[in-house]
Amino acid sequence: MTALQSDREAQGRGDTAGRARVWKPFAALGLALALVMSAVPAVAQADEVDLTPGPTIIKDADSPTGYTGHFVYYNPTATSVRFVADILMRNWADQTDTKVYQPSEYKPGLMRGAGAYDVQMTNAGNGYWVTDVPLAAGVNQYWFYVDNNTSLWVTDPANPPLYAPDGLTGTARRAFNAVYVPYDAEKQNYAPLAARVIENPRPDSPKGTWSYVPIQIGTTTRTLGVYLPPGYDPDREEPYKTIYLQHGSGQDQSDWLTIGSVPIIMDNLLQDGATEPAVVVTTNSNYMGASPYNNLTNIIVPFVESHYNVSTDRMERAFAGLSLGASMTTNIINNNPLRFGYYGVWSFRASINPNTVNLKQAYIHIGCGIWDNLNLCAPQSQLNGLVGKANFKNTVVAGGHDFNAWPQLFTVFARDYVWQRGAFVNAAPAFSESGETQAVDENRSLMFGVEATDPDGDAVAYSASGLPAGASFDPATQQFTWHPDYTQAGEYTVTFTASDGDRPYSLSSTKTVTISVRDVTVAEQLSGLKAAIAALGVNGGVKNALTVKVDQAAKLLADGLTADAVGLLSTDFAGQVASLLAEGKLTAEEAAALTVAAQEAVQNITS
């Protein structure tokens, strides 16, 4: 595999911070890759690595993911260093599995999003602290706690994000250092994980540029983060579209551009032809003003539209945010949805007012990580309340309230929804009939199917509730099967649900089926038995198994039935069958082997 190495010079290297002696049996092979404002760790495949500060991604046959992250932190005054990373995992493939998995326990189906992995780094001497951990595909975030000070998230000085000059500092700054991990198809072997390589820099993709641009907010100079797509042309005849992104609590305009991987995702989607070129602007919540954020409307948007070749058409503007930023996005929608054409509301209990004027003229993407520890996924009741009143789609991804979920949600938004009005037409699946009745006799089999279609073409997932004892429903074939016994006469109600997805928070509809099980009398059962016996064809000299269901109190074969020496049944046989026509449940079985002469047996049975 081609080796990648950061184009940044590792910081903090004096005479004692340079290359040290080998500590572990790995080696770094580097090939410089120039990236605009982005640091990419080395990918190595040999047997040794020196103590060069920073992250190195190693191709490792012994790793469950195929890759090991080797981290070296230099701090000669530290007495202890903890490596912390949001890389604990849960089972996305089987959500009945509630275990939290360590990185070393990776197996296909696991995804990041279960919280922080926290481990003491090893003191390698001379101020070097090291640790190794298996890592899976996509952007992984990490930071350090020095001397057990958990209030200060320490940035990796050898791999620092490029923070906004007017952004957060000190204990207010959550240091999210990024490391990019390839996908090993054999070991990771899971399509949702493979999709996360969209967050990784590609050596061959055309690169956009991004920077922090000064803007005057009142009497203060602040900055916007601005991404320009590859080949940005200030004189292009068709102006570019714009996407405004808002951060969450404890973050600033830096985070979407760094750990959020937005410039990388945009570069890759554009190379794939999966989105349109757009200028992306990141803003800071502390200069937006109070809701309804007039600084956004009166200062920021006009500044962008006067300094860049971008459209002034609201349908070519989008605004999206995560967590606190999603709350702000919701406030903008509820105040005036016509300020932007498209919105992203991610990791926030979407309190969008369904009665907002002009709500149907906006297109809203709602989303969250399924393991959101703050329980900020939009509840089903709120989504159902928007049906018919808003153009919206809901996406649930593998992740928590973290930058495992948010790069995925931005990818989905930029690729599948923004600038695509038709993608937001959302309706629940519809069953062919709203309800029906099925009937069956006791001790008879019943089988029927249900089917729903989704107007949007989404995949439909099925489930059933209220199943009677012994009944089953196969979601794959949509087939209901039941063989009620002699104790299950009565009426039963089964509810079938069709959802436009196999994850929570999707839209759904239901169909109720009433099943009537008829009580079959003993007289009916034995009348049928007599008719069956009368129609039975037997061959002379052949043994035939005759099974007769009778009441325990009057068993057929215990009532004097005899056969003569040549195997003829006594003439009492038909009378004995008739004598058992009485109400009651059949509870026992007897099997009799009949050896008969054909003509006599038929005459005997029918006489």
| 265-276 pLDDT per residue, tens | 999 999 999 999
Tokens representing 189 are 């072997």
Positive or negative, the CA dihedral 224, 227, 232, 238 is negative
Residue 433: its pLDDT value, please?
Answer: 76
Pick the range with the lowest mean pLDDT from 11-15, 179-183, 200-204, 412-416.
Answer: 11-15
Tens-place pLDDT, residues 372-382? 989 889 888 88
Q: Residues with Cβ < 8 Å from 504, sequence gap 6 or more?
A: 370, 377, 380, 396
Inter-residue contact 574 to 605 (CB < 8 Å): yes
Other beta carbons within 10 angstroms of residue 167's beta carbon come to 21
pLDDT at 350: 72
pLDDT for the residue 130: 98
Determine the average pLDDT of the residues in 43-67: 83
- For position 297, what pLDDT does the model report? 94
Give the model's pLDDT for residue 32.
31
pLDDT of residue 216: 97
Do 342 and 418 touch, CB atoms closer than 8 A?
yes
SS3 state of residue 591: strand
To the question of domain 201-425 being in CATH 3.40.50.150, the answer is: no
Would you state the pLDDT for residue 22?
A: 39
Answer whether 431's CB lies under 8 Å from 511's CB: yes
More confident residue, 22 or 265: 265
Question: Of all residues in the chain, what percent carry a pLDDT higher than 70?
Answer: 76
Q: Which helix (H) or strand (E) holds 512?
A: strand 508-518
**Averaged pLDDT score across all residues of the chain:** 83
Q: Helix 522-534 vs helix 598-606: angle between axes, to the nearest 10 degrees?
A: 150
Dihedral pair phi/psi, residue 556, rounded to 5°: -55, -50
Average pLDDT score over residue span 121-142: 98
Query: Per mean pLDDT, which range of 32-46, 254-268, 321-335 is the poorest?
Result: 32-46
Could you tell me the two tokens for 409?
């949600």
470, 482 contact by CB (below 8 A): yes
> CA 76, 82, 84: angle at the middle one, nearest 5?
135
Looking at residue 489, its amino acid is A
Determine how many CB atoms are found less than 10 A away from the CB of residue 518: 14
Q: Report pLDDT for 89.
A: 99
As a whole number of angstroms, the distance between CA 555 and CA 337 comes to 80
pLDDT tens sequence across 319-363: 999 999 999 999 999 999 999 999 999 999 878 999 999 999 999
Helices H, strands E: what count in the chain? 10, 30
Predicted local confidence at residue 535, as pLDDT? 64
Residue 598, SS3? helix
Q: What is the homologous superfamily of the domain 54-194 according to CATH?
A: Immunoglobulins (2.60.40.10)
> In the predicted model, is pLDDT for residue 290 greater than 90?
no
> What's the gap between Cα 603 and its chain centre?
71
Residue 228's φ and ψ, nearest 5 degrees, are: -110, 130
Across residues 443-466, what is the average pLDDT? Answer: 90
Least confident of 194-203, 525-534, 549-558: 549-558
What is the tens place of the pLDDT at every residue in 384-436?
A: 899 889 999 999 999 999 999 999 999 999 999 999 998 887 678 899 876 68
- Taking a C-beta distance cutoff of 8 angstroms, is the pair 434, 509 a contact? no
pLDDT at 138: 98
d(CA 545, CA 537): 12
Segment 193-218, tens digit of pLDDT: 999 999 999 999 999 999 999 999 99
Residue 559's pLDDT band, with cuts at 50, 70 and 90, is very low
Provide mean pLDDT across the span 81-88: 99
Question: Virtual CA dihedral for 245, 250, 255, 258, nearest 10 degrees?
Answer: -170
Mean per-residue pLDDT for 479-508?
A: 85
Fold of 430-518: Immunoglobulin-like (2.60.40)
d(CA 467, CA 464): 7
Q: How many CA atoms lie within 13 A of 453 on its CB side?
A: 3
Q: Is the pLDDT of residue 15 over 70?
A: no
Is pLDDT at 565 greater than 60 in this prediction? no
